[in-house]
Chains A and B, each alone.
Chain A
């Protein structure tokens, strides 16, 4: 398997524009996570899905952020409108529950978003 695939790897956009980040989880994984990483706040969990259903979106910072998972092999994180403070690296991760409910999450390479 190619692992978790995120696109684009880099995105530069102007303030006020809509930004869509994409993620393809590992086949067979039933959990998908979106994280955001900045120097100031570290790695923050934004939202996670189980079997395509959002389970916990308490980390989504504002209504400008939305995430969807229309099927088991694709998820999007959308920011509309974008602001400079949204600049960060956004990671997608997927996992499957192990025998002992351990959490081995596999992360993608991330999307570096810059809003100017």
Chain B
């Protein structure tokens, strides 16, 4: 599975958009990009995934570059409850294995 690189930490003001980058330059054609987050002392929570098109759901938007070597998770109006560690994961189509890296610790400030 392709490796991902994320900044270890980020800060964002409450109410602003939080943009979390992820680099996955070795991604292959059959690998999806997944985002999960882990709020303190809870289990990880699925946010969104994508293959090559941009995706949006009720939680977030996922922007994947045309060459698929990087992506950005966007939380459009961050709240204090969005403070968490955000994991960007690359996983093969048809395979159910999720390998977590160190993630980005996002802190939303009032």
Contacts and interface: CB of A to CB of B under 8 A. Distances in A.
A103 B91 contact: yes
A45 B99 contact: yes
Contacts of B44: 43, 91, 93, 105, 107
Interface in B18-73: 32, 34, 36, 38, 41-46, 49, 51
Interface string A3-36: 0100000000000000000000000000101010
A97 interface: yes
Contacts, number: 62
Interface in B91-110: 91, 93-103
B52 to A, nearest CB: 12
Interface residues of B, number: 25
Query: Which bucket holds chain A's interface residue count?
Result: 20 to 34
Given A43-B100, A101-B93, A103-B34, A109 B42 contact: yes
Contacts of B94: 97, 101
Contacts of B87: 43
B75 to A, nearest CB: 18
Nearest to A102: B49
Contacts of A110: 41-43
Contacts of A104: 46, 49
Contacts of B102: 42
Question: Could you say which of B91, B93, B96 has the most chain A C-beta atoms within 10 Å of its C-beta?
Answer: B96
Nearest to A98: B49
Given A42-B101, A42-B102, A103-B91, A31 B43 contact: no
Interface of B: 32, 34, 36, 38, 41-46, 49, 51, 87, 91, 93-103
> Lowest 6 A-B CB distances belong to which pairs?
A107-B43, A43-B100, A104-B46, A101-B94, A31-B96, A101-B93
